[in-house]
A and B are shown apart, each in its own frame.
Chain A
Amino acid sequence: MALKIALAGNPNCGKTTLFNDLTGSTQYVGNWPGVTVEKKEGRLIGHRDVIIQDLPGIYSLSPYTLEEVVSRNYLVNEKPDVILNIVDGTNIERNLYLTTQLVEIGIPVVIAFNMMDLVRKSGDQIDTKKLGKELGCETIEISALHSDNTKKAAELAIEQATKKKGELPHVFTGSVEHAIAHIEESIETLVPAEQLRWYAVKLFERDSKATEQLKLSADTKAHIEQHIADCEKEMDDDAESIITNQRYTCIQKLVADTVSKKHTSEQMTTSDKIDRIVTNRILALPIFAVIMWAVYFISVTTLGSWLTDWTNDVLFGTWITNGATAGLTALGASDAVISLLVDGIIGGVGTVLGFVPQMILLFLCLSILEDSGYMARVAFIMDRIFRRFGLSGKSFIPMLVGTGCGVPAIMASRTIENEKDRRMTILLSTFLPCGAKMEIVAMMTMVCFPGSMFVAPAMYFLGLGIVVFSGIALKKTKYFSGDPAPFVMELPAYHIPTVKGVLIHVWERAKAFMIKAGTIIFTMCIVIWFLMHFGPTGFLPDDIDASFLRYIGEGLSWIFKPLGFGTWQGAVASVSAEVAKEQATATLGMLAHAASDDETDVAAAINTMFGGSKLIGMSFLLFNIFDAPCMVAIATAFREQASRKWGWITFGYQMMVGYCLSLCVYQIGAWVSGSFTFGTVVAIALILAACYFVFRPNPYAKKRTEYRREAERA
């Protein structure tokens, strides 16, 4: 069986750099089951039988965050052979806090002190050998960035895997150690000997997850509770805090004995100097605006859209399409086969691949921002605004990118650590009209309000409004309010990102997108192509009016009746907008049988198709802008939510918003022009319901005020 090394450490400790260095291109990136936390695995270069499991970056093994729970479960239940704990030498106290917890799990631990080059450069000294001895672990000094000693660290871990675990450090003292020893006694027979300390400490902390797992008898529970209560009384603190306090006290003592700092903390580091400007009260916002503009400019408007347009129009639209058509014709393929391969498959898959260059550029920018440490500052600067809508300061970037394209926007939500914030961002970022949706806006403006300059800005504001009010309303639902997620975030020191790190990051994202979107879209393309080009009478190359799609449109048209465009054409156009938003304009043109390709002719024909009604045109526009995004974006959302349930919630919520908005506008508009119907009543009811969900007091908001009250009382 393969030997398993688990990589554990704080966020920003250089764990990813080390992982990349040790595994190279053998990485496999997935998700931990059912959660959006990324799971990375790879084989150690030069050792095919050694698997390296990268755990999420964590500060502790508490039961409160997903990353921590995932890591605990892996370490306790799957029992890797050895833990390689990376400790940032420049931030040693907080990093060792996790170490004191890791050594209790009963797996041999090797501590790799990282960034030792920086430590030495600053003139500080760390006696790593002595630290290791005190903690009962082997240690090694490395620099992951420069590949210094990284191989040796892995080899040391392999060597330790087969050895017996060293002695546990003496972290707890006095009555705490006494109580833990008593708990150990009472659960001795229930857990493996090497995990005894872990479970005893967790029980002492009244850790809900560990308590559940052990299924203790009521007697034992009462017995343990008595010990905890006695100890709490003596120490005048709650059990969880007693443990944390003692861990840090122990670390402080260790550090005092083994670390000698040359500089005092008063002196400014380079990182401090950068921060003095970058998060300066006056300069922070302008600098932020410039950086965001640069990201948008590079990845969405200029370079990104040139590359995407080139891929779509030239590479797939002309070269490959023409080449394939010519080749297939020469081979004597039938029209139906040529159409399937060229229009259906190449056209469809080409649309997906067209997103790839844009995505690569965006992730290039994002990984640079993230690896350099600026992303944490983005959250710091924008937190005030976004947390009101249940979003994170980091949601700014997905929202911004969303105005260009929803697909990279959803992917960009990966930078948000908190799962609730991330789910909410994925749910909302596609409400901002993307570039393709603006084509529908342009077309429908011509149809309804020729020459108007206000429709497009109005759509942006409406999108923003939907994001804000959805955020407020959703934050009051049970899932999103839950326990208030504390925003206690490290602002890591700035680093110059490495080329290798950035490229690996970009490649992982692009690959994940291509695999998921590629497979789903490929299937969908064939289905849509078939429905569009075949009818009851067989293959119909250019006659949508007699295709299966028309019959489907007729079958679906009742859905759109309350929105005003309950015709098969309206339904077909909306379905084709789901394939790709810009597709809707082409389909509308085809359905309306315009006299010529001239824009005014097409607009006039569409106007006639909607019965000359501006209201119906507007309703159609609103529905197709604010319902679920195109299927590539939907597929991406499903992937990023990492749960089928959440994928459907996202899709369902977006469809509901688009539908209700369009219904309200159409029905209220009809009422204004004098027809009060049942639909009007529904529209009013919907508006009232929406107001209720936005403005009702938060039924789950007790927690925060309780803290305050308690603090005031004290």
Chain B
Amino acid sequence: MKTLRDVKVGETAKVMKIHGDGALKRRIMDMGITKGTEITVRKVAPLGDPVEVTVRGYELSVRKDDADILEMS
């Protein structure tokens, strides 16, 4: 399964499915990452984690562990 963690810097992918439940899933969705949303990975933090992504026209920082719940195209 390809998750947001596997999307390379500079690439854009579509959210296919959001796994998990509870606070994390809700928070990610509240921030505008819903099924079908396009996410562009902008860069990785200097220490390798988290990653910066663009979603719905703004910048968001997501930890790689949290990014794993996002199944991407």
- A380 CA / B47 CA spacing, docked (Å): 10
Smallest CB separation, B28 vs chain A (Å) = 6
Question: Which residues 38-62 of B have a CB within 8 angstroms of A?
Answer: 43-50, 52, 54, 56-62
Contacts of A376 in B (CB 8 A): 61
- A483 CA / B32 CA spacing, docked (Å): 21
CB pair A711–B52 under 8 Å, yes or no, is no
Given contacts A487-B66, A714-B1, contact A244 B26 (CB under 8 A): yes
Contacts of A380 in B (CB 8 A): 45, 50, 52, 61
Q: Mark contacts of A114-140 with chain B using CB atoms, 8 A cut-off: 1 yes-contact digit, 0 otherwise.
A: 000000000000000000000000000
Contacts of A488 in B (CB 8 A): 24, 27-28, 31, 60-63, 66
Question: Which residues 234-249 of A have a CB within 8 angstroms of B?
Answer: 237-238, 240-241, 244-245, 248-249
CB pair A97–B45 under 8 Å, yes or no, is no
- A384 CA / B54 CA spacing, docked (Å): 20
Contacts of B14 in A (CB 8 A): none
A453 at the binding interface (Cβ < 8 Å) = no
Smallest CB separation, A640 vs chain B (Å) = 24
Contacts of B56 in A (CB 8 A): 91, 93-94
Given contacts A94-B31, A97-B30, A488-B60, contact A708 B68 (CB under 8 A): yes
B17 at the binding interface (Cβ < 8 Å) = yes
Minimum CB distance partner of B32 in chain A: A94
CB pair B3–A707 under 8 Å, yes or no, is no
CB pair A491–B47 under 8 Å, yes or no, is no
A285 at the binding interface (Cβ < 8 Å) = yes
Smallest CB separation, A714 vs chain B (Å) = 6
Smallest CB separation, B31 vs chain A (Å) = 6
Contacts of B17 in A (CB 8 A): 714
Question: Which residues 475-492 of A have a CB within 8 angstroms of B?
Answer: 483-492
- A711 CA / B69 CA spacing, docked (Å): 6
Question: Which residues 360-400 of A have a CB within 8 angstroms of B?
Answer: 376, 379-385, 387
CB pair B23–A714 under 8 Å, yes or no, is no
Q: Mark contacts of A481-522 with chain B using CB atoms, 8 A cut-off: 1 yes-contact digit, 0 otherwise.
A: 001111111111100000000000000000000000000000
Smallest CB separation, A140 vs chain B (Å) = 22
A64 at the binding interface (Cβ < 8 Å) = yes
CB pair B24–A93 under 8 Å, yes or no, is no
Minimum CB distance partner of B68 in chain A: A711
- With most chain B CB atoms within 10 A of its CB, the pick from A62, A387, A486 is A486
CB pair A714–B44 under 8 Å, yes or no, is no
Given contacts A94-B32, A279-B43, contact A241 B18 (CB under 8 A): yes
Smallest CB separation, B5 vs chain A (Å) = 10
Contacts of A492 in B (CB 8 A): 59
Interface size on B, residues (CB 8 A): 44
Q: Mark contacts of A689-714 with chain B using CB atoms, 8 A cut-off: 1 yes-contact digit, 0 otherwise.
A: 00000000000000010011011101
Given contacts A704-B65, A708-B68, contact A93 B57 (CB under 8 A): yes
Contacts of A189 in B (CB 8 A): none
Minimum CB distance partner of A244 in chain B: B29
Interface size on A, residues (CB 8 A): 52
CB pair B47–A384 under 8 Å, yes or no, is yes
- A99 CA / B60 CA spacing, docked (Å): 20
Smallest CB separation, A665 vs chain B (Å) = 34
Given contacts A483-B23, A488-B61, contact A59 B31 (CB under 8 A): yes
Contact of A707 among B31, B52, B60, B68 (CB under 8 A): B68
B21 at the binding interface (Cβ < 8 Å) = yes
A281 at the binding interface (Cβ < 8 Å) = yes
Contacts of A596 in B (CB 8 A): none
Given contacts A384-B48, A487-B63, A488-B62, contact A241 B25 (CB under 8 A): yes
CB pair A714–B30 under 8 Å, yes or no, is no
B35 at the binding interface (Cβ < 8 Å) = yes
CB pair B19–A714 under 8 Å, yes or no, is yes
CB pair B60–A62 under 8 Å, yes or no, is no
CB pair B22–A245 under 8 Å, yes or no, is no
- A322 CA / B24 CA spacing, docked (Å): 61
CB pair B60–A97 under 8 Å, yes or no, is no
Smallest CB separation, A639 vs chain B (Å) = 28
CB pair A490–B58 under 8 Å, yes or no, is yes
CB pair B32–A64 under 8 Å, yes or no, is no
- A426 CA / B38 CA spacing, docked (Å): 39
CB pair B26–A97 under 8 Å, yes or no, is no
- A582 CA / B66 CA spacing, docked (Å): 46
A60 at the binding interface (Cβ < 8 Å) = yes
CB pair A483–B22 under 8 Å, yes or no, is yes
Contact of A265 among B32, B43, B54, B71 (CB under 8 A): B54
CB pair A489–B60 under 8 Å, yes or no, is yes
CB pair A491–B26 under 8 Å, yes or no, is no
Contacts of B73 in A (CB 8 A): none
- A38 CA / B25 CA spacing, docked (Å): 26
Contacts of A383 in B (CB 8 A): 45, 49-50, 61, 63
Given contacts A381-B46, A491-B52, contact A245 B35 (CB under 8 A): yes
A210 at the binding interface (Cβ < 8 Å) = no
Contacts of A711 in B (CB 8 A): 1, 3, 19-20, 68-69, 71
Question: Which residues 57-77 of A have a CB within 8 angstroms of B?
Answer: 59-60, 62, 64-65
A345 at the binding interface (Cβ < 8 Å) = no
- A486 CA / B24 CA spacing, docked (Å): 5
Contacts of B48 in A (CB 8 A): 384
Residue pairs across A and B with Cβ atoms less than 8 A apart, 21 shown, are A59-B31, A62-B27, A65-B23, A91-B58, A94-B56, A240-B25, A245-B35, A279-B43, A380-B50, A381-B45, A384-B45, A384-B49, A486-B24, A487-B63, A488-B63, A492-B59, A711-B69, A711-B71, A712-B1, A714-B17, A714-B19
Binding site for A on B (CB under 8 A): 1, 3, 17-32, 34-35, 37, 43-50, 52, 54, 56-63, 65-66, 68-69, 71
Given contacts A284-B46, A490-B59, 5 further A-B contacts (CB under 8 A): A64-B27, A97-B30, A265-B57, A380-B45, A384-B48
Q: Please provide the 8 A-B residue pairs with the shortest distance between their CB atoms, ordered closest to farther.
A: A60-B30, A384-B47, A491-B59, A64-B23, A244-B29, A284-B46, A486-B24, A93-B56
